[in-house]
Amino acid sequence: MSKLVSDSWKIIQEGFSAEKNRFFESIMASGNGRMGLRGNHEEDYTGDTLKGTYIAGVYYPDKTRVGWWKIGYPEYFAKVLNAIDFIGIKVGINGENVDLATCCFTNYKRELDMKESILRRSFTFVGKDGSEYEIKTERFLSYADCDLAVIKYSVTGLSEEADVVFTPFLNGDVKNEDANYDEKFWEYVSGEAGKSVSFLTMKTLKTNFNVSAAFTWELTGSDALENEAISRNGGEFVGNRVRAKVRKNATVTLTKYISVISDRYYEADKISNIACHKAEEAKKAGYESLFEAHKAKWDKIWSMGDITIRGDIKAQQGIRFNIYQLNCTYSGDDPRLNIGPKGFTGEKYGGSTYWDTEAFCLYFYLGTREPQIARNLLEYRYDHLEKAKENSKKLGTQGALYPMVTMNGEECHNEWEITFEEIHRNCAITNAIKVYTEYTGDTSYLYQKGIDVLVETSRYWVSRVTFNSKKNIYMILGVTGPNEYENNVNNNWYTNRMVKWSLQYTADTLENMEKADKKLYQEAVDRLRLTEDEVDSFRKISQNMYLPEDKELGIFLQQDGYLDKEQTLVSDLKPEDLPLNQNWSWDRILRSCYIKQADVLQGLWFLNEEYPLDVKKRNFEFYEPRTVHESSLSPCVHAILAAEIGLEDKAYEFYLRTSRLDLDNYNNDTDDGLHITSMAGTWMSIVHGFGGMRIKNGELYLAPFIPECWEEYSFRLVFRGRIIKITVNKKETILLLEKGDPLEILLFTERILLK
């Protein structure tokens, strides 16, 4: 049986279980921002597995198929593609194929070292004659050169010598498990199996992305007794058959040096040559040299972004796992890339960009990496502004409506309640511009590019609201708010409130621009063809936006008619009812009062400074007991607000849920990949929740507490050219300026100068 071992820096699987294999494949996933892998075996495995090799930005537009086509429907649903299998190494020992689904083995261990970003495995292969051989593997995707991957595969003779046959290969005959009709998304372009270097180039259907992988190899501990180049399946399988002898108590190791190149970065007709050259250069550099450069990059990431926890190893393992996977998914060096909800760990959600990026991920990258990395997330949306305007036009509205799901700026989600109604995504993007500007103190993006996003999204809201002349108010009808267990509702409080804020923020930004930089202001006015009347309309709608509330209860209403529902609590549900989305019909869910994730409370987090504690507390105490937290994005917002209103035990409970959502498989869905975007919420739960970090009037503010079961915790903030370490224990809070100029910050009500 398999078990997951608690460790502060590692994800460790002891023992093998075929039933849990997909789960462990997910949590052992790794990446370097340009490509990523599930924790699949290098050797054959014919048991239940989800093979996953993913290349950033490479996708397939799977045609939308619905029974009743609706005007405005997206033409396709984008899918991240399982790409060339480049980790494969078939292994034979004395003529027996090493396949953990069929062979005999003991002492299985799989271990992801997050500090060094390397995956190691070991087990004892037992031959049919009882002979035993220890097998060890290790692999990493280089963070120093994101085109490279390296694998070591070692066999040690424990009981006697053996003939060992290694067959390192590249396989382009791959499919997606979520293909509608089991179709292939790739076609063969070229390939060659050579005795020293082999390559394979494949091209996606429809989108015509070209990806080339190449590898070379070296053998240590034995001479190669045979070396045969192999090409099969019309060239889609290329490799080498390498025979060697392993002696008793000795080890033979095959090291595979791999380069993976796409035409997103190089010319298509040159990528195979580049891939071969880089693989050969990697071999010349050698395993240790490549690994040291890789580790140095990860050392820098951890030196800025690590969070340490003393006294709670499960909490420590959880937060590092989340930080690790976020950095595997997005390195931030390419503004054309973004963060898919599953990252490089599975096919679900198509690998596309959701509102999760702005609502959750931006905070993490702002606080842990150089500001350009977070800025690139904003550049991504600016670069897609014209597509957002096209999306709006398709729905018969003005301005820009950013897609709920996208790869290239086009909407590519095929559920109507998402595509047409979850329009609050615009507000997450405008809020992200504000968050970035306030945190960095840098107005250059806001005034040069962000203003275009603000104005065009505001124009969308002007065309989307409904004016109620009897009540002299503006309403927003027919939406789905963050709570996706409510569709086609009127006046979702969160949506209305964020639109009210967005319109006001746009008008205020224009006013501030005119004062701060008349030249940039006038350029924006001319470029956007803005008039005073239009800006006045932004303010007028904002000032007269309808916000549903119940004054008797002192709460904001999630939407019109919410209190008409039977008001039962999650505690009233039977255990077998949960999760609702796996046990109830959609009709029953929609008629219930149950909430998938933070909705009203999401607004109270975004607009945190605009509401006093008593308002937050009343709304939290009303809505949280009705929330089933069946979205991975839910626990973190609740953790932050619970911490702020003094419910420290509740905050810790939600932190543990968000930090170990995948490790403990809370929602029984880790098998198909990790919840990458919600992992940023884990970091937020500690920094914004337990640490109480806010930006108040342009200054850094902290109000930390420590969970009862922790002895101490610490985190760093990358803030305006400084690195600040905050350590909190039972007695005191320690602030250390590790890098940068002196800075005044607020600790509760005390002003402190760090230097």
The domains of the chain are located at 3-302
Taking alpha carbons only, the member of 85, 74, 97 closest to residue 42 is 85
d(Cα 678, Cα 322) in Å, to the nearest integer? 9
Residues recorded for the chain: 755
**Cα dist. 659→323, 473, 635, 636 in Å?**
10, 42, 9, 9
Number of neighbours of residue 750 by Cβ within 10 angstroms: 7
Summarize the chain as % helix, strand, coil (round to 5).
Answer: 35, 25, 35
What pLDDT sits at residue 73? Answer: 77
Taking alpha carbons only, the member of 592, 458, 450, 636 closest to residue 536 is 458
Helix (H) or strand (E) holding 684, with range, is helix 676-684
Q: Give me the residues of the chain with pLDDT under 50, please.
A: none
d(Cα 329, Cα 360) in Å, to the nearest integer? 14
406 near 473, Cβ under 8 Å? no
Report the SS3 class of residue 385. helix
d(Cα 82, Cα 278) in Å, to the nearest integer? 22
Contacts of residue 564, defined as CB under 8 A and 6 or more positions apart, other chains included, come to none
DSSP state of 64: P
Number of neighbours of residue 688 by Cβ within 10 angstroms: 23
What pLDDT sits at residue 416? Answer: 72
Half-sphere exposure of 165 (CA within 13 A, CB side): 15
Number of neighbours of residue 394 by Cβ within 10 angstroms: 15
Is the Cα torsion angle 87, 348, 146, 175 positive or negative in sign?
positive
d(Cα 204, Cα 509) in Å, to the nearest integer? 43
DSSP state of 38: -
Query: What would the two tokens of residue 102 be?
Result: 């069929």
Report the SS3 class of residue 717. strand
Query: What would the two tokens of residue 179 be?
Result: 């293909």
d(Cα 84, Cα 201) in Å, to the nearest integer? 9
Environment class of residue 517 by beta-carbon count within 10 Å: exposed (0-12), middle (13-18) or buried (19+)?
middle
Number of neighbours of residue 595 by Cβ within 10 angstroms: 28
d(Cα 312, Cα 708) in Å, to the nearest integer? 10
What are the residues facing 58 on neighbouring strands?
A: none
Taking alpha carbons only, the member of 705, 703, 689, 698 closest to residue 719 is 698
Taking alpha carbons only, the member of 733, 661, 752 closest to residue 692 is 733
651 near 699, Cβ under 8 Å? no
Environment class of residue 614 by beta-carbon count within 10 Å: exposed (0-12), middle (13-18) or buried (19+)?
exposed
Taking alpha carbons only, the member of 501, 482, 504, 491 closest to residue 464 is 491
Taking alpha carbons only, the member of 136, 149, 122 closest to residue 34 is 149
Q: Provide the annotated active-site residues.
A: 484
What pLDDT sits at residue 736? Answer: 98
What pLDDT sits at residue 268? Answer: 96
Average pLDDT, the chain: 96
As a three-state string, the secondary structure of 471-494 is CCEEECCCECCCCCCCCCECCCHH
**Cα dist. 426→493, 686, 694 in Å?**
15, 27, 23
What are the counts of helices (DSSP H) followed by strands (DSSP E) for the chain? Answer: 22, 32
Taking alpha carbons only, the member of 327, 264, 279 closest to residue 300 is 327
Report the SS3 class of residue 569. coil
337 near 381, Cβ under 8 Å? no
Assign domain 3-302 to a CATH class: mainly beta
Specify the residue for token string 């040096």.
Answer: 257
Query: What would the two tokens of residue 479 be?
Result: 């939406």
Specify the residue for token string 């914004």.
Answer: 688
Report the SS3 class of residue 310. strand
244 near 224, Cβ under 8 Å? yes
pLDDT digits (tens, 9 = 90+) for 62-106: 877 766 677 777 878 888 899 999 999 999 999 999 999 999 999
Contacts of residue 45, defined as CB under 8 A and 6 or more positions apart, other chains included, come to 21, 99, 100, 101
d(Cα 28, Cα 12) in Å, to the nearest integer? 9
Helix (H) or strand (E) holding 580, with range, is helix 580-583
**Phi/psi class of residue 396: alpha, beta or left (left: φ > 0; alpha: ψ in -120 to 50)?**
left
25 near 49, Cβ under 8 Å? yes
